[in-house]
Structure 1
């Protein structure tokens, strides 16, 4: 008999949903006594719970897993907070799961969230941003019938809902701003190849450079990690190529670029103009304050929450990727082109 008890102890919301032939979201609504469930469906769920010996565990009901690259990057921390705030009025609680996209930890987080009966998942710039992702992730979600929403990219070949910043437009507005200031040799400190937001910013940068007649744009793109060190490496390389302005793929990369610029004996923006990306808090207080492309994280967070709540209520939610327009915030790190003469060697 002890073996039977152990098996019953493992019964979770997923097993209830499977026996009742409904979604995990529907089981969650029944357990939380939410509206929008027919009496017939409610009774089927209750019968499945009784048959399996399932006991309600309120500590995990209404959990939404938010899988994000990490909370040390301010924009992801802020976006996760906005999503949590938008979900709270609907009786849902965000559980933040920081993990490198595509890593084993991300898959382990997802399995654990599904095992405890999470109501839904948000992929916040996680594996959904990668051209090559672990197909087990989407297979797990399909098998458990758990709704999910993506931020900054859809899983390739999988139908779903995503909400993203228009990174092509972001690349375009950065180049146009610098060209209007007289810069013609503009470099891009880009993120890794195969990362959708990075690839889109590169596409916007190259397309706009071509439209404006800026030469050698492809040769002025350096791919590196989204970090201070990555930005420093990319900027050092670009400065040796004689750029007078740099567009960085993140604010952290922009901070690394400032370090590289100063180590070359140059100043921002007198010698080199610089644009970041994200508009992380406190950047208007750096020296100089950083011009950056701001992501609309408040609107992104609200849209993600509304879509997930709709899916949990079994309502139709439009599929595809909805693009949100970013905003160029001009501060003190960009200025008019000034001929600084040949770049010193070394």
Structure 2
């Protein structure tokens, strides 16, 4: 493509074509942005030492000449707490399927959210051709975590997207499951079956999805005239062992139905019910959350609220490719409706 002189109308480009940036165009972009060619190069390569105002001026000049940063052979860093939980592995797989047709390659990093390990991964890889970063339920879900990793990312001008909760004081895009709707679906199902003493196995305090699910649970119960719902919320971690402990506490309070904040917690509820001499669902109904694979093969098959991983991945893929191409995206959080998957772990409460 032949570069136009300053002030001239740009030549038309074919749809999908990209403007190359060579020595001539670097000079032209530098002239438009009123900076040096070295500064333009630093912005293109996401290097340190460029102020936010200067970076914005260069990006504006790039848009004027119709330049799109190529996505071929570029990397997208996905940061997740672990891949042992099937829902994280499934979500990462769905996102990778959305990105790969655009020539983007994913690197999945398992980290303990909000720790130096997370920052170390980002710092080690961000200069290796990382085009964008996806926080897949990592430190973006923790309200009181160390969020200096965001400062590092923004200093390099690297776009990022968060799933299931966003970082405070940033306008980066967020795609989340509607946790308030998830609680409404679960509570509504148990209430329609006749349950009135319903408890919740909730995630830890200051975890954004966990806090939202608790808020949604209490609201759903209050809409049905049950005002003491917060007395039946037990906050633990999203695993089998904590689910078992929390269920034991709720059984002691006489609940007949349980809404769990993860499928793993729900399966811990199965174990607690068995040890208390109760049957699921005859004596205790349990609803999970996530719709992890293999739930049809539990005994009984677990009713759960399903996160729509395909819909989340579609939105994340669309946003990531738009950000890399410097197209505008909305900053309002996108909430994806969950679905209730009925199986065999819920039933009307037994007669006293």
The TM-score normalised by the length of structure 1 is: 0.83
Matched residues in 2 for 1:244 and 1:275: separation?
Answer: 12
**Contact 1:293–1:329 (8 Å) recurs in 2:** yes
2:76 corresponds to 1:76: no
Partner of 1:50: none
Matched residues in 2 for 1:70 and 1:143: separation?
Answer: 27
The Cα shift of 1:24 comes to 4.2
2:267 corresponds to 1:268: no
Structure 1 vs Structure 2 CA RMSD:
2.3
Partner of 1:167: 179
Matched residues in 2 for 1:169 and 1:19: separation?
Answer: 46
Partner of 1:232: 244
Partner of 1:129: 141
**Structure 1 residues 39 and 189 mapped into 2: Cα distance closer, same or farther (>3 Å)?**
closer
The TM-score normalised by the length of structure 2 is: 0.81
Partner of 1:302: 314
Point out where structure 1 has 5 or more consecutive residues left out of the alignment.
1-15, 27-35, 46-57, 341-346
Matched residues in 2 for 1:143 and 1:181: separation?
Answer: 53
**Contact 1:23–1:146 (8 Å) recurs in 2:** no
Matched residues in 2 for 1:298 and 1:260: separation?
Answer: 33
Point out where structure 2 has 5 or more consecutive residues left out of the alignment.
1-36, 48-60
2:170 corresponds to 1:158: yes
**Structure 1 residues 24 and 150 mapped into 2: Cα distance closer, same or farther (>3 Å)?**
farther
Partner of 2:27: none
2:299 corresponds to 1:287: yes
Deviates more, 1:266-275 or 1:135-144: 135-144
2:338 corresponds to 1:326: yes
Matched residues in 2 for 1:259 and 1:241: separation?
Answer: 17
SS of 2:333's equivalent in the other structure is: strand
1:7-49: CA deviations, max 9, x gaps? xxxxxxxxx98552535479xxxxxxxxx9679697xx9xxxx
**Structure 1 residues 157 and 262 mapped into 2: Cα distance closer, same or farther (>3 Å)?**
same
Runs of 4 or more above 4 Å deviation: 16-19, 23-26, 36-42
Matched residues in 1 for 2:299 and 2:351: separation?
Answer: 22
Matched residues in 2 for 1:166 and 1:291: separation?
Answer: 18
